[in-house]
Homo-oligomer: A and B are copies of this chain.
């Protein structure tokens, strides 16, 4: 693929390069999610919204050994039908960084668009799988029970639309909550929600700036326990549940229970709203290798850095799920995306038999875990569109080709 087909970098575009950028080079709260401004914004998210530190703690870094392989020239059948290579896929899908781990060793580690090994990159909904992990840890400890009502943990929910909803329904996105995630529909709940959490300029009349109040005011479109429907707000609710059950603010809880134990190299960070509430569904930023450590912990059944960081039963449940979760997914509009798969514990399951599953975020964030080949692929990107189904499928095709070659 010739060099001129490469998408321009933030530096090529001059984004935020000058002391007073011209409007077409200025990244603000109003445009950061749009192309090409997201090319800069996803690596500088703390410069746009308030964030809390997820401390890595004082422990040693878990070193990842190196076992380099040429993956660029790997061939696979593109979603377009034509043969392509991993290198072409990386260029075509606005890649900011790629990490391939095989049996725990770094096979490939690539940075693009100005990103470096110490750059935190916005994860969008990969954050959900991290938030779910903290839930799994608290469940193992008995501080949470998937069968319990969410109002058992968050009493404020008792008189709301979440009365009667279980933690399991939240984990698998099966409450009856009315919340449209259609990014292209300007009237969808997700658009109002973005103002609530401070990710978009607030209009007049201004919505609440308190995410918990917003959650309490939601309504239901159907009974709880319905088929799977992807709604980010349910992971924000999970963050609130975790704070109540874990007895700490989410950033502190995530640091204590997961980030510090992983032996992460860098502090991570999470966006917070105007009341300090965590945007647990999409607001986490981490560095590439630290996200690789997270994926590798899952590949290893939760045992990492010398201890069982994530409960083994939880990890297995994330990719095996159960018949009910599979049926709930099969009955959903998303079933065609991963036939025979499911959405379980905040992960997308491709193959619940052999164990192939992924964390996925809009604009091209992925943690792909492939048990049969003992491979983890992490890809951070800034696609022009939030949800580009062709790019999403191209990712998975490339990841499976990499896994097959290792």
How distant is A329 from chain B, measured CB to nearest CB, in Å? Answer: 30
Most chain B CB within 10 A, of A20, A48, A51, A243, is at A20
A48: B residues at CB distance < 8 A: 50
Evaluate contact between A47 and B46: CB separation under 8 angstroms. no
Nearest-Cβ distance from residue A123 to partner chain B, whole angstroms: 17
User: Which listed residue (B21, B27, B52) contacts A47, Cβ 8 A?
Assistant: B52
Stretch at the interface among A165-173, A271-279, A320-328: A271-279
Given A19-B240, A156-B20, do A47 and B274 touch, yes or no (CB 8 Å)? no
A29 within 8 A of B: yes
Closest residue of chain B to A30 (Cβ to Cβ) is B274
Contact in complex: A28, B243 (CB < 8 Å): no
Instruction: Flag whether A356 is at the interface (Cβ < 8 A).
Output: no
A303 on the interface (CB 8 Å rule)?
A: no
Q: Is A75 an interface residue (CB 8 A)?
A: no
Interface string of A50-61 (1 = CB under 8 A from B): 111101000000
Which residue of the partner chain, among B28, B53, B276, contacts A27 with CB atoms under 8 Å?
B276
A228 to chain B, nearest CB (A): 27
Query: Given the complex of chains A and B, what is the CA–CA distance between A397 and B382 in angstroms?
Result: 55
Residues from chain B with Cβ under 8 Å of A51 in the complex: 46-47, 51
The answer to whether A118 and B55 have CB atoms under 8 Å apart is: yes
Distance in angstroms from A259 CB to nearest chain B CB is 14
Q: How far is the CA of A46 from the CA of B29 in the complex (A)?
A: 16
- Among A19, A21, A44, A48, chain B packs the most CB atoms within 10 A around the CB of A19
The residue from B29, B46, B240 contacting A52, defined by CB atoms under 8 A apart: B46
A276 contact set on B, CB distance < 8 A: 16, 21, 26-27, 47
| Chain B residues with CB under 8 A of A274 | 28-29
> A12: CB under 8 A from chain B?
no
* A19 B249 Cβ-Cβ under 8 A: yes
Closest approach, in angstroms, between the C-beta of A330 and any C-beta of chain B?
35
Q: In this assembly, does A70 line the interface, its C-beta being within 8 Å of a C-beta of chain B?
A: no
Contacts beyond the supplied A19-B240, A46-B46, A46-B50: 11 A-B pairs with Cβ under 8 Å: A16-B276, A19-B154, A19-B212, A19-B243, A19-B249, A20-B275, A21-B275, A26-B275, A26-B276, A46-B51, A55-B118
CB-defined A-B contacts under 8 Å, sample of 26: A16-B276, A19-B154, A19-B243, A19-B244, A19-B249, A19-B277, A20-B156, A20-B240, A20-B275, A21-B275, A21-B276, A26-B275, A27-B276, A28-B275, A29-B274, A44-B52, A46-B46, A46-B53, A47-B50, A47-B51, A47-B52, A47-B276, A48-B50, A49-B50, A50-B50, A55-B118
A positions within 8 Å CB-CB of B: 16, 19-21, 26-29, 44, 46-53, 55, 118, 154, 156, 204, 212, 240, 243-244, 249, 272, 274-277
